[in-house]
């Protein structure tokens, strides 16, 4: 296991901006104390005493960031993809999540999820657990041992859900969440808690108010869902008729940006006022293209969000999304943006490969701080990609090899090594 100070040598590629992809063939990526010191075509004199790990012609890219996924849904990925959101929740999600009251079951399921996540391209993840505190703590412990950095949330919901998955009341939910925070804050090196109201319909006003108070007291981030499905949005308006938009429900209780660092999944049908509120409050959008297709939710207008200065990253949204692959998430983001341009608004041009790669690395990485790039001062998360199994007769430049990998990772790609915060996870 390599850590602290070392150099990775190979064909290096990373996003500097949404439009600017940096590629350095036979380059040197310098890591000191887990922090990137930059990428160089020729190794500077001051670093020549550090050990060099030479990966030859393999690609070296920043670790990928999954801004939205559900660990307890992993066992039924690929099922129920002919349903819309609310029916899918009742048919598959809620029954499965109720099983995590059994810690033995939770251990079996979470061990599979965490090991697959460790082997995946994601070096950072923002994760939903369930309402069950012991199972959520177990998930955090398994992620810590795996060396993946993550925010993990104990889910809150006290209404509009099955009795077998409903917390007793708002007071009990807030108390359990406080106890969970007291037991996990500062306990882990890689993992931290995040407040997780499932979504507004399953949280009463008193519960949201209590979670807002916890946020202000502990200063921790927030995750939830926003404007994913038209039926869901109508339901929110019925439950909270005073709100101008869905996002205002969270904002009313102090759970929507500003001092509360916040990521909201989907934002497929956000209104103009909601978009402006997200921009003003610095709320991150977790774009989950495969899930939005699978659950017939629609196409999020990501080009608009980028043009208007919103903070955007990508999510797999397991198991609305059927795969853990962040490479697939990037390819899907490009694909659905083409449909949006062709079918919805021809002034909103499709995402480029550079932009999708930025969203999957530096865009989402910003939620964790200086993460997702190899620029000097960024935490060093890196993947070493072996694309020799994706056969071709052509000689390709580094950018072309990266583009091809996004689409063909599962055909013949292999992650040869993975580093998180300067620590080798495997290799």
For 146-157, write each residue's pLDDT tens digit: 999 999 999 999
- List beta partners, residue 263: 223, 284
Query: CA-to-CA distance for 246 and 227, rounded, in angstroms?
Result: 7
Query: Measured over all CA atoms, what is the biggest interatomic distance in the chain, rounded to whole angstroms?
Result: 65
> Residue 319 class from Cβ within 10 Å (0-12 exposed, 13-18 middle, 19+ buried)?
buried
Q: Residue 309 corresponds to which tokens in the numbers above?
A: 């200065």
Band of pLDDT at residue 161, cut at 50, 70 and 90: very high
What are φ and ψ of residue 12, in 5° steps?
Answer: -100, 140
Q: What share of the chain is helix, strand, coil (3-state, %, to 5)?
A: 40, 25, 35
The pLDDT of residue 158 is: 97
Mean pLDDT of 121-135: 98
**Comparing C-alpha atoms, which of 283, 247, 248, 291 is closest to residue 266?**
291
CATH code linked to domain 64-368 = 3.20.20.140
Ranges for all domains in the chain classified under CATH 2.30.40.10: 5-62+373-426
- Per residue in 31-70, pLDDT (tens digit) is 999 999 999 999 999 999 999 999 999 999 999 999 999 9
Mean pLDDT of 266-274: 98
Q: In the predicted model, what is the mean pLDDT of the chain? A: 96
**Comparing C-alpha atoms, which of 390, 413, 372 is closest to residue 13?**
372
CATH topology of domain 5-62+373-426: Urease, subunit C; domain 1 (2.30.40)
Evaluate whether 380 touches 2 at the Cβ level (below 8 Å).
no
pTM for the structure as a whole: 0.96
Q: Is 143 helix (H, G, I), strand (E, B) or coil?
A: helix
Contacts of 267 (CB under 8 A, 6+ apart): 226, 227, 228, 274, 278, 285, 287, 300, 305
Phi-psi region of 191 (alpha: psi -120 to 50; beta: other; left: phi over 0): beta
Report how far apart, in Å, the C-alpha atoms of 281 and of each of 253, 254, 267, 276 are: 14, 11, 15, 8
pLDDT at position 2 over 90: no
Sign of the dihedral through C-alpha 262, 266, 271, 275: positive
Ranges for all domains in the chain classified under CATH 3.20.20.140: 64-368
Report how far apart, in Å, the C-alpha atoms of 290 and of each of 267, 300, 305, 335 are: 14, 11, 18, 10
- Per residue in 283-294, pLDDT (tens digit) is 999 999 999 999
């Amino acid at each position: 296991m390599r850590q602290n100070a070392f150099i990775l040598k190979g064909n290096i590629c990373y996003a500097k901006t949404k439009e600017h992809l940096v590629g350095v063939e036979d380059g040197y990526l310098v890591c000191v104390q887990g922090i990137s010191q930059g990428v160089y075509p020729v190794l500077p004199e001051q670093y020549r005493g550090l050990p060099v790990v030479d990966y030859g012609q393999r690609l070296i890219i920043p670790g990928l960031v999954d801004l939205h996924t559900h660990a307890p849904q992993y066992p039924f990925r690929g099922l129920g993809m002919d349903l819309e959101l609310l029916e899918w929740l009742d048919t598959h999600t809620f029954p499965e999540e109720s099983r995590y009251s059994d810690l033995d079951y939770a251990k079996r399921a979470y061990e599979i999820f965490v090991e697959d996540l460790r082997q995946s391209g994601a070096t950072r993840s923002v994760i939903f657990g369930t309402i069950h505190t012991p199972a959520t703590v177990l998930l955090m412990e398994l992620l810590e041992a795996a060396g993946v950095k993550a925010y993990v949330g104990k889910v809150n919901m006290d209404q509009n859900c099955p009795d077998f998955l409903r917390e007793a009341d708002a007071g009990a939910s807030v108390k359990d969440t406080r106890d969970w925070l007291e037991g996990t804050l500062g306990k882990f090196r890689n993992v931290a808690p995040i407040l997780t109201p499932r979504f507004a319909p399953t949280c009463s006003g008193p519960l949201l108010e209590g979670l807002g108070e916890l946020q202000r007291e502990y200063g921790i981030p927030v995750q939830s869902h926003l404007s994913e499905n038209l039926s869901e949005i109508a339901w929110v308006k019925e439950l909270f008729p005073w709100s101008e938009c869905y996002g205002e429900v969270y904002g009313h209780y102090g759970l929507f940006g500003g001092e509360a660092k916040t990521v909201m999944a989907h934002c497929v049908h956000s209104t103009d006022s909601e978009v402006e509120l997200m921009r003003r409050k610095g709320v991150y959008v977790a774009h989950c293209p495969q899930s939005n297709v699978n659950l017939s939710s629609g196409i999020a207008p990501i080009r608009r969000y980028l043009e208007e200065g919103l903070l955007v990253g990508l999510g797999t949204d397991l198991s609305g999304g059927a795969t853990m692959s962040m490479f697939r998430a990037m390819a899907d983001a490009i694909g659905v943006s083409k449909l949006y341009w062709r079918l919805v608004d021809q002034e909103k041009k499709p995402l480029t490969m550079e932009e999708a790669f930025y969203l999957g690395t530096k865009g989402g990485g910003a939620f964790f701080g200086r993460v997702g790039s190899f620029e000097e001062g960024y935490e060093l998360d890196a993947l070493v990609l072996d694309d020799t199994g994706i056969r071709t007769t052509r000689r390709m430049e580094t950018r072309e090899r990266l583009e091809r990998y996004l689409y063909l990772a599962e055909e013949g790609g292999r992650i040869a090594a993975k580093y998180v915060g300067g620590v080798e996870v495997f290799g």
